[in-house]
């Protein structure tokens, strides 16, 4: 018999997240910020092409969205900020430098609260700053054997926000939860679309190990090329194991940058510390420093929408929803907005929650649609749910009608009326069916009277079948109980 010794190592992880901002134009010119799907190099101008003589002009919207993010992440906004040039050569960098921020970023020192395994964790945010995105390269074949590469500058100059996290994360799972929560906040406040696959949200990680209880940090490895939550988790897990094995064998780690290979499911060394880039930062002389007034900060703060955590708490208290339901209904702004619209139309919150998270969510998942994009809007759903509440339609019929409306876009309440699917609550009409059911199921009737509760289900089922699901279940039950009195019952 063996026990696994607890690992003497503790992971120290910090994430650097890059998020493209949802501005209309690029950061320093008037080209479109939404470049996807455009012919190569068509979304360009002298400024984002970096043509000699061109000059950048700050897009105020980029500043505003960065401030918005910084405030949502509880950062301080210094009064004085500036842009700097980060100098390095690469074919996707048209000017040979990236306009970024170095020592005086737009914001400093915030935090993000998130949950992992039912535990609440707070991780520090070092800074949120603003820079410009690079172009993209298209290699002929794999990069190591391609004979040429094509440069597309459609993306060059798109506003890119960098959110640098403190090394406060202690496991790959925490890193994943942090990233998911951060992504949710960015989507909530409307600054980023959260699309990791298409690269509008990107994540790099720094990870090191140190003996449990130690203060000093171990040798740091930077991991790049993770383009999904899954790859963040996998890459960090892989790296954690790799580093632990090296250390357990008494080996030494080297400070380096490693890339995550999705294909091989491992990290591969890209650059050692010695080869580290020298960026030669200096203040961007083409852009005067910015003074951010307190009034401007307060204006942005006042414009912040309700954040996910606050909304989740409010859903629990205001609508008396269970934590799990509140969590699911506030996952995305689209979910909670849909829900609140249905409730605003007079539907009981619990019923609305059950249906949105149940049948409707199921249909949406199958169709791969967000709820706000599906063909059943909040108003038609509310009409249908109110029919249930008013005993005008049974839940079973409503489910079928909803599925049909989801496919065709028809109005569900109208479907109920036009197809005569309304609930039957006429006692006389139901009594006829009950009597017929009793006649055809004499054994079930006597079984029930003999004490077998389950036999009643068969009788109710028979009536429902006869009524095509429309019979009012309460009346059916009531009539059956009257017809089949049980001794002492």
Partner 1 sequence: MTLLEEPIRELGRRLREREISAVELAEEALARAKELDPTLGAFLRVTPELALEAAAVADLRLQEDPAGAPILCGIPVAYKDVVCTEGVETTAGSQILRGFVPPYSATVVDRLSALGVVPLGKLNCDEFAMGSSNENSAYQLTRNPWDPERVAGGSSGGSAVAVAARLACVTLGSDTGGSIRLPASFSGVVGVKPTYGRVSRYGLIAFASSLDQIGPLAKTVEDAALVLTAIAGQDPRDSTSVVAPVDGFLGELRAGVKGLRLGIPKEYLEVGLDPGVRAVFEQSIRMLEGLGAVTQEVSLPTTEYALSAYYVIAPAEVSSNLARMDGVRFGPGFAGATTLKEAYEQARHEGFGEEVRRRVTLGTYALSSGYYDAYYLRAQKVRTLVAQDFDLAFAQVDAIISPTAPTAAFRLGERTADPLAMYATDVLTLPANLAGISGISVPAGFAAGLPVGLQVLGPYLGESTCFRVAQSLETEARIWDRLPPLAVAPA
Q: Which residues bind partner 1 (CB under 8 A)?
A: 46, 50-58, 85, 87, 89-91, 94-97, 151, 278, 280-282, 285-288
Residue 150's binding partner among Zn ion, partner 1, none (Cβ under 5 to 8 angstroms by kind) is none
DSSP assignment of 262-302, as one string? TTTTEEEEEEEGGG------EE-TTS--EE--HHHHHHHHH
* CA distances from residue 118 to 115, 121, 322 in whole angstroms, order as listed: 6, 10, 15
Nearer to partner 1, 282 or 365 (CB): 282
| Residue 95 interacts with which of partner 1, Zn ion, none, CB < 5 to 8 Å by class | partner 1
The count of residues in the chain is 489
Residues contacting residue 63 through CB under 8 Å, at least 6 positions apart: 106, 130, 290, 292
Q: In the window 21-40, what residues touch Zn ion (CB under 5 A)?
A: 29, 31
How near is the Cβ of 275 to partner 1 at its closest, in Å?
Answer: 11
Question: What is residue 49's three-state secondary structure?
Answer: coil
In the list partner 1, Zn ion, none, the entry touching 465 (Cβ below 5 to 8 angstroms by class) is none
Nearer to partner 1, 81 or 184 (CB): 81
Q: Of partner 1, Zn ion, none, which one does residue 53 interact with (CB within 5 to 8 Å by kind)?
A: partner 1
Distance of CA 320 to CAs 337, 358, 370, Å? 17, 18, 24
Residue 403 within binding range of Zn ion, rule CB under 5 A: no
User: With binding defined as CB under 5 A, does residue 431 bind Zn ion?
Assistant: no
**Binding partner of residue 190 among Zn ion, partner 1, none, CB cut-off 5 to 8 Å per kind:** none
Of 222 and 284, CB closest to Zn ion: 284
Helices 308-319, 333-344: inter-axial angle, 10-degree rounding: 30
Instruction: Enter the tokens of residue 69.
Output: 């993010």
Q: Is 424 in the site for Zn ion (CB under 5 A)?
A: no
Residue 15 CB, nearest approach to partner 1 (Å)? 25
Q: Which is nearer to partner 1, 290 or 466 (CB)?
A: 290
Contact partner, 367, from Zn ion, partner 1, none, Cβ < 5-8 Å per class: none
**Shortest spacing between CB 191 and partner 1, in angstroms:** 24
Structure tokens at 244: 């632990």
Least distance from C-beta 286 to partner 1, angstroms?
Answer: 5
Tell the smallest beta-carbon distance from residue 82 to partner 1 (Å). 12
Our finding on whether 45 is near Zn ion (CB under 5 A) is yes
Strand 221-226 relative to strand 256-261, pairing = parallel
Question: How far is residue 462's CA from residue 242's CA, in Å, rounded to a whole number?
Answer: 63
Instruction: State in angstroms the smallest separation of the CB of 18 from Zn ion.
Output: 20
What's the min distance (Å) between Cβ of 46 and Zn ion?
A: 7
The SS3 call for residue 260 is strand
Identify the CA nearest to 259 among candidates 198, 202, 178, 174: 202
CA dihedral 420, 426, 431, 433 (to 10 degrees): 0
Residues that bind Zn ion (CB under 5 A): 29, 31, 45, 47-48
């Amino acid at each position: 018999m063996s026990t696994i010794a607890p690992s003497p190592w503790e992971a120290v992880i910090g994430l650097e997240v890059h998020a493209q901002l949802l501005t209309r134009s690029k950061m320093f010119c008037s080209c479109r910020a939404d470049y996807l799907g455009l012919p190569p190099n068509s979304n360009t101008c002298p400024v984002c092409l970096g043509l000699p003589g061109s000059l950048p002009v700050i897009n105020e919207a980029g500043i505003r969205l960065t401030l918005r993010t910084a405030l949502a992440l509880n950062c301080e906004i210094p009064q004085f900020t500036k842009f700097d040039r980060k100098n390095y050569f690469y074919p996707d960098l048209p000017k040979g430098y990236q306009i970024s921020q170095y020592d005086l970023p737009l914001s400093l020192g915030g935090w993000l609260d998130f949950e992992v395994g039912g535990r609440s964790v707070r991780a520090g945010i070092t800074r949120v700053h603003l820079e410009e995105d690079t172009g993209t390269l298209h290699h002929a074949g794999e990069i190591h054997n391609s004979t040429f590469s094509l440069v597309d500058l459609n993306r060059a100059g798109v506003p890119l926000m960098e959110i640098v996290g403190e090394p406060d994360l202690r496991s790959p799972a925490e890193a994943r939860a942090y990233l998911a929560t951060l992504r949710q906040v960015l989507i909530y406040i409307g600054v980023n679309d959260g699309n990791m696959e298409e690269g509008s949200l990107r994540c790099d990680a720094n990870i090191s190990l140190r003996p449990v209880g130690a203060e000093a940090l171990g040798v740091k490895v930077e991991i790049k090329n993770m383009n999904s939550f899954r790859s963040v988790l996998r890459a960090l897990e892989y790296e954690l194991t790799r580093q632990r094995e090296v250390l357990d064998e008494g080996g030494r780690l080297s400070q380096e940058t490693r890339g995550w290979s999705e294909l091989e499911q491992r990290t591969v060394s890209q650059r050692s510390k010695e080869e580290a880039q020298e960026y030669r930062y200096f203040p961007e002389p083409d852009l005067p420093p910015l003074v951010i007034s307190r009034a401007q900060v307060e204006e942005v703060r006042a414009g912040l929408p309700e954040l996910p955590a606050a909304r989740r708490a409010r859903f629990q208290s205001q609508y008396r929803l269970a934590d799990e339901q509140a969590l699911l209904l506030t996952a995305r702004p689209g979910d909670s907005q849909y829900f609140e619209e249905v409730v605003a139309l007079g539907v009981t919150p619990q019923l609305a929650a059950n249906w949105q998270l149940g049948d409707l969510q199921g249909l949406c998942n199958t169709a791969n649609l967000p709820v706000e994009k599906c063909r059943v809007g909040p108003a038609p759903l509310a009409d249908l749910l109110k029919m249930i509440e008013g005993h005008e339609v049974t839940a079973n019929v409503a489910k079928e009608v909803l599925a049909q409306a989801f496919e065709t876009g028809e109005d569900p309440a109208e479907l109920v009326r036009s197809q005569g699917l309304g609930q039957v609550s006429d006692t006389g009409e139901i009594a006829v069916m009950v009597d017929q059911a009793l006649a055809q199921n004499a054994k079930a009737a006597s079984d029930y009277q003999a004490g077998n509760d389950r036999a009643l289900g068969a009788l109710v089922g028979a009536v429902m079948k006869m009524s095509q699901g429309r019979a009012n279940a309460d009346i059916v039950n009531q009539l059956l109980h009257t017809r089949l009195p049980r001794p002492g019952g």
